[in-house]
Structure 1
Amino acid sequence: MKLAILDRDGTLNPLGDEYITSPEEWTPVPGALEAIARLNHAGWHVVVATNQPGLGRGLFDVVALNAIHAKMHRQLAAMGGRIDAVFYCPHAADEECSCRKPAPGLLEQICDRYGAERSEVQVVGSCAAHLQAGSALGAQLHLVCTGRSADVDAVATALPAGVPPGTRMHASLGDFASHLLPAAPGSRPPVPA
């Protein structure tokens, strides 16, 4: 099974100063929804795994979180794409759970649900915790230089602190999709300048 597990905040939507607590506050990172649609059209399943400690802190409720994700799904459907499911951890950092990234619990649940071979899963995010969870899973890791990694140069040779060795870097989710997908028949690779 072709499965990509994406982080939400910083990968699909820009990071804000505070938690996203309503659908009105959710906007996509430019090009992110188009990248997911491209992956879907090439036969990839896309699932989101996200820490949402604002739930446990009472900053928003499950109804609000579902409304935020419903907006995300609608905007993606308008692009011809889909996210198969959203898995979230509602726990705060000081709560002991196996699902809050960097623990791999959410990603393990996703692999179990989809029957995916863990070593073939693509784990994509803009923060070290998401990629650390993917590393614990044994997945293939991809850092997108958006969100928490917006200041990282995707062609740099050194990975940011905390990012597991072997992680590939991409300027954006669109660049990750281009890396993963074969070129369209008849298309030519870009000519170096």
Structure 2
Amino acid sequence: MASALRGRWRHGLAAAAGASLADGVLALGVLFASSALVELLTQMIANHPALAVVGEIAVVAALVTYAVRLGRSSVLRHSSELRDELGQSVRGTVVSAAATAVANIVNPTFLPSLAGAFAAALSFLAHRGTITTGGKFLMALGFVGGTFAWLAVVVGLIVRNHSRFSLRHIMLLRRIGAVVVFVFALVLLWHIAAS
């Protein structure tokens, strides 16, 4: 997206493509592993209910840490040499965006929300018949297409309006995002305390 802020369509779309493809690979992993993981986690939580509370508190702690880091991070910090070098070519931008998207694995909300969304979609489709391997591949392909379309729209908006974005605006958006994540963590903590 930094390329889009510099007004580069090709690099912005390359970043969208790289992130979409990486998300598609993650989606395939979630689609094929989620049923086994859900069964394993359900049995483990039934046998050890304290693990669920510890896991929920760990997720809240991770969200609060992420919110604090997001709110404090400086937009003015320079990128590493590797990132600058990768961002010079379209191929490098694809690789850089894909690596960034794969890094979403460490976000404690990414894989569970992806698994939850796919579980809901799969349960809806299960009522209409059996779910084949090809159906799971098509669902992942649809996820890639949807992600790319969304990111292409964002890139288009950024490229058209890049002259209006100052570092101050970007920092404000990051802080708003940090507040949203922090509030979400507080809601989760309240839910844990209430249960």
TM-score when normalising by structure 2? 0.25
Give the number of the structure whose alpha-carbon radius of gyration is greater. 2
Q: Which has the higher helix share?
A: 2
Q: Which has the higher strand share?
A: 1
